[in-house]
Structure 1
Protein backbone atom coordinates (compact mmCIF):
# COMPACT_ATOMS: atom_id res chain seq x y z
CA UNK A 1 0.00 0.00 0.00
CA UNK A 2 1.37 3.43 -0.90
CA UNK A 3 0.65 6.23 1.55
CA UNK A 4 2.20 9.51 2.46
CA UNK A 5 3.84 9.81 5.87
CA UNK A 6 3.95 13.00 7.94
CA UNK A 7 7.56 13.89 8.71
CA UNK A 8 9.01 16.70 10.84
CA UNK A 9 12.02 18.38 9.27
CA UNK A 10 15.02 17.87 11.54
CA UNK A 11 17.73 19.12 9.18
CA UNK A 12 17.34 21.44 6.17
CA UNK A 13 19.99 21.89 3.47
CA UNK A 14 21.38 25.40 2.99
CA UNK A 15 19.89 25.60 -0.52
CA UNK A 16 16.42 24.69 0.84
CA UNK A 17 15.96 21.94 -1.74
CA UNK A 18 16.34 18.95 0.57
CA UNK A 19 15.86 18.04 4.19
CA UNK A 20 15.97 15.19 6.64
CA UNK A 21 12.53 14.26 7.95
CA UNK A 22 11.57 12.14 10.95
CA UNK A 23 8.24 10.58 11.96
CA UNK A 24 6.73 11.54 15.29
CA UNK A 25 7.82 8.24 16.86
CA UNK A 26 11.32 8.54 15.39
CA UNK A 27 11.14 5.14 13.68
CA UNK A 28 11.08 6.54 10.16
CA UNK A 29 13.85 8.89 8.99
CA UNK A 30 14.17 9.89 5.36
CA UNK A 31 16.07 12.34 3.14
CA UNK A 32 13.45 14.43 1.28
CA UNK A 33 13.37 16.47 -1.89
CA UNK A 34 11.63 19.79 -1.04
CA UNK A 35 11.41 21.19 -4.56
CA UNK A 36 7.66 20.52 -4.85
CA UNK A 37 6.87 22.52 -1.70
CA UNK A 38 9.72 25.01 -1.67
CA UNK A 39 12.07 25.83 1.21
CA UNK A 40 10.65 24.92 4.62
CA UNK A 41 11.62 25.86 8.17
CA UNK A 42 13.41 23.51 10.50
CA UNK A 43 10.78 21.75 12.62
CA UNK A 44 8.04 22.13 10.02
CA UNK A 45 5.87 19.20 8.94
CA UNK A 46 5.42 17.81 5.43
CA UNK A 47 3.58 14.89 3.90
CA UNK A 48 6.30 12.70 2.36
CA UNK A 49 5.87 10.13 -0.39
CA UNK A 50 8.58 8.31 -2.33
CA UNK A 51 11.39 10.56 -1.10
CA UNK A 52 9.67 13.87 -1.78
CA UNK A 53 7.70 16.32 0.32
CA UNK A 54 4.32 16.51 -1.43
CA UNK A 55 2.56 19.08 0.78
CA UNK A 56 3.13 21.22 3.84
CA UNK A 57 1.19 20.27 6.98
CA UNK A 58 0.39 22.00 10.23
CA UNK A 59 1.34 20.10 13.38
CA UNK A 60 -2.36 19.30 13.92
CA UNK A 61 -2.74 17.95 10.37
CA UNK A 62 0.41 15.86 10.77
CA UNK A 63 -0.98 14.37 13.99
CA UNK A 64 -4.28 13.51 12.29
CA UNK A 65 -2.53 11.78 9.38
CA UNK A 66 -0.23 9.88 11.78
CA UNK A 67 -3.27 8.80 13.82
CA UNK A 68 -5.04 7.60 10.67
CA UNK A 69 -1.97 5.58 9.66
CA UNK A 70 -1.80 4.10 13.17
CA UNK A 71 -5.50 3.22 12.86
CA UNK A 72 -4.80 1.20 9.70
CA UNK A 73 -2.07 -0.72 11.55
CA UNK A 74 -4.33 -1.22 14.60
CA UNK A 75 -7.15 -2.64 12.46
CA UNK A 76 -4.67 -5.05 10.86
CA UNK A 77 -3.72 -6.17 14.38
CA UNK A 78 -7.41 -6.54 15.35
CA UNK A 79 -7.32 -3.65 17.84
CA UNK A 80 -9.81 -0.84 18.45
CA UNK A 81 -9.30 2.56 16.86
CA UNK A 82 -11.79 4.96 18.51
CA UNK A 83 -9.04 6.66 20.52
CA UNK A 84 -7.30 7.61 17.26
CA UNK A 85 -10.35 9.49 15.96
CA UNK A 86 -11.30 11.47 19.04
CA UNK A 87 -12.27 14.45 16.85
CA UNK A 88 -14.94 12.33 15.11
CA UNK A 89 -16.36 10.25 17.97
CA UNK A 90 -19.62 11.36 19.66
CA UNK A 91 -20.57 14.02 17.13
CA UNK A 92 -22.92 14.19 14.19
CA UNK A 93 -21.32 14.46 10.77
CA UNK A 94 -21.58 17.90 9.14
CA UNK A 95 -21.94 18.74 5.49
CA UNK A 96 -19.25 20.97 4.02
CA UNK A 97 -20.42 24.55 3.43
CA UNK A 98 -20.61 24.10 -0.36
CA UNK A 99 -23.13 21.23 0.08
CA UNK A 100 -25.33 22.79 2.78
CA UNK A 101 -27.36 24.86 0.31
CA UNK A 102 -27.87 21.88 -2.00
CA UNK A 103 -29.46 19.78 0.76
CA UNK A 104 -32.13 22.35 1.65
Structure 2
Protein backbone atom coordinates (compact mmCIF):
# COMPACT_ATOMS: atom_id res chain seq x y z
CA UNK A 1 0.00 0.00 0.00
CA UNK A 2 1.20 3.49 -0.79
CA UNK A 3 0.27 6.47 1.37
CA UNK A 4 0.28 9.92 -0.21
CA UNK A 5 1.39 12.72 2.09
CA UNK A 6 0.72 16.45 1.69
CA UNK A 7 3.94 18.39 1.16
CA UNK A 8 4.56 22.02 0.26
CA UNK A 9 6.65 23.11 -2.70
CA UNK A 10 9.70 24.91 -1.29
CA UNK A 11 12.01 25.42 -4.26
CA UNK A 12 12.76 24.17 -7.76
CA UNK A 13 15.75 22.08 -8.82
CA UNK A 14 17.25 22.66 -12.26
CA UNK A 15 14.89 22.46 -15.23
CA UNK A 16 11.60 22.53 -13.32
CA UNK A 17 10.61 18.87 -13.29
CA UNK A 18 11.97 18.32 -9.78
CA UNK A 19 11.03 20.39 -6.72
CA UNK A 20 12.10 20.41 -3.11
CA UNK A 21 9.01 19.74 -0.98
CA UNK A 22 8.66 19.97 2.79
CA UNK A 23 6.40 18.79 5.58
CA UNK A 24 7.52 19.78 9.05
CA UNK A 25 11.16 18.71 9.40
CA UNK A 26 10.94 16.35 6.41
CA UNK A 27 12.44 17.65 3.16
CA UNK A 28 12.76 15.69 -0.07
CA UNK A 29 12.75 16.03 -3.82
CA UNK A 30 9.59 15.25 -5.76
CA UNK A 31 9.08 14.74 -9.47
CA UNK A 32 6.43 17.25 -10.59
CA UNK A 33 5.84 15.78 -14.05
CA UNK A 34 2.30 14.56 -13.21
CA UNK A 35 1.05 17.91 -11.87
CA UNK A 36 3.23 20.35 -13.80
CA UNK A 37 5.17 23.30 -12.50
CA UNK A 38 3.55 24.71 -9.36
CA UNK A 39 4.36 27.93 -7.53
CA UNK A 40 6.42 27.81 -4.36
CA UNK A 41 4.00 27.43 -1.44
CA UNK A 42 1.62 25.10 -3.28
CA UNK A 43 0.56 21.94 -1.42
CA UNK A 44 0.76 18.67 -3.35
CA UNK A 45 0.15 15.01 -2.50
CA UNK A 46 3.44 13.12 -2.75
CA UNK A 47 3.89 9.35 -2.97
CA UNK A 48 7.04 7.45 -3.86
CA UNK A 49 8.82 10.63 -4.93
CA UNK A 50 6.08 11.85 -7.28
CA UNK A 51 3.66 14.73 -6.77
CA UNK A 52 0.31 13.17 -7.75
CA UNK A 53 -2.21 15.91 -7.08
CA UNK A 54 -2.38 19.63 -6.31
CA UNK A 55 -4.32 20.31 -3.09
CA UNK A 56 -6.60 23.27 -2.49
CA UNK A 57 -7.33 24.39 1.09
CA UNK A 58 -10.31 22.06 1.47
CA UNK A 59 -8.43 19.06 0.09
CA UNK A 60 -5.49 19.78 2.36
CA UNK A 61 -7.76 20.03 5.42
CA UNK A 62 -9.54 16.75 4.61
CA UNK A 63 -6.25 14.95 4.00
CA UNK A 64 -4.76 16.24 7.25
CA UNK A 65 -7.90 15.10 9.11
CA UNK A 66 -7.59 11.63 7.57
CA UNK A 67 -3.92 11.42 8.58
CA UNK A 68 -4.80 12.53 12.13
CA UNK A 69 -7.50 9.84 12.30
CA UNK A 70 -4.99 7.24 11.11
CA UNK A 71 -2.47 8.34 13.74
CA UNK A 72 -5.16 8.25 16.46
CA UNK A 73 -6.20 4.76 15.37
CA UNK A 74 -2.62 3.52 15.49
CA UNK A 75 -2.32 5.01 18.99
CA UNK A 76 -5.52 3.22 20.08
CA UNK A 77 -7.34 6.54 20.57
CA UNK A 78 -9.81 6.54 17.67
CA UNK A 79 -13.30 7.95 18.25
CA UNK A 80 -15.54 7.47 15.18
CA UNK A 81 -17.78 10.46 15.94
CA UNK A 82 -14.77 12.78 16.11
CA UNK A 83 -13.42 12.00 12.63
CA UNK A 84 -14.70 12.27 9.08
CA UNK A 85 -17.68 14.44 9.90
CA UNK A 86 -17.98 15.20 6.18
CA UNK A 87 -18.96 11.56 5.46
CA UNK A 88 -22.42 10.15 6.13
CA UNK A 89 -22.36 7.53 8.85
CA UNK A 90 -23.83 4.07 8.50
CA UNK A 91 -26.60 4.94 10.95
CA UNK A 92 -27.58 7.98 8.81
CA UNK A 93 -27.95 5.77 5.75
CA UNK A 94 -30.41 3.42 7.48
Instruction: Give the TM-score normalised by the residue count of structure 1.
Output: 0.71
Q: After TM superposition, which residue ranges in structure 1, 4 or more long, deviate above 6 angstroms?
A: none
Tell me the equivalent position of 2:22: 22
Ranges in structure 1 where 5+ consecutive residues have no aligned partner: 95-104
Structure 2: which 5+ residue stretches go unaligned? none
Structure with max Cα Rg: 1
Say how many residue pairs are matched. 91
Q: Distance in 1 between matches of 2:3 and 2:9?
A: 18
Counterpart CA distance in 1 for 2:30 and 2:76 is 33
More strand as a share of residues = 2
Query: The residue matched to 1:9 in structure 2 has which SS?
Result: strand
Judged with a 3 Å threshold, the aligned counterparts in structure 2 of structure 1 residues 72 and 34 are, in CA distance, closer, same or farther, namely same
Q: Aligned residue for 1:77?
A: 75
Q: Against the structure 1 CA distance between its residues 83 and 29, is the aligned structure 2 distance closer, same or farther, given a 3 Å change threshold?
A: farther
Q: Which residue of 1 aligns with 2:48?
A: 50
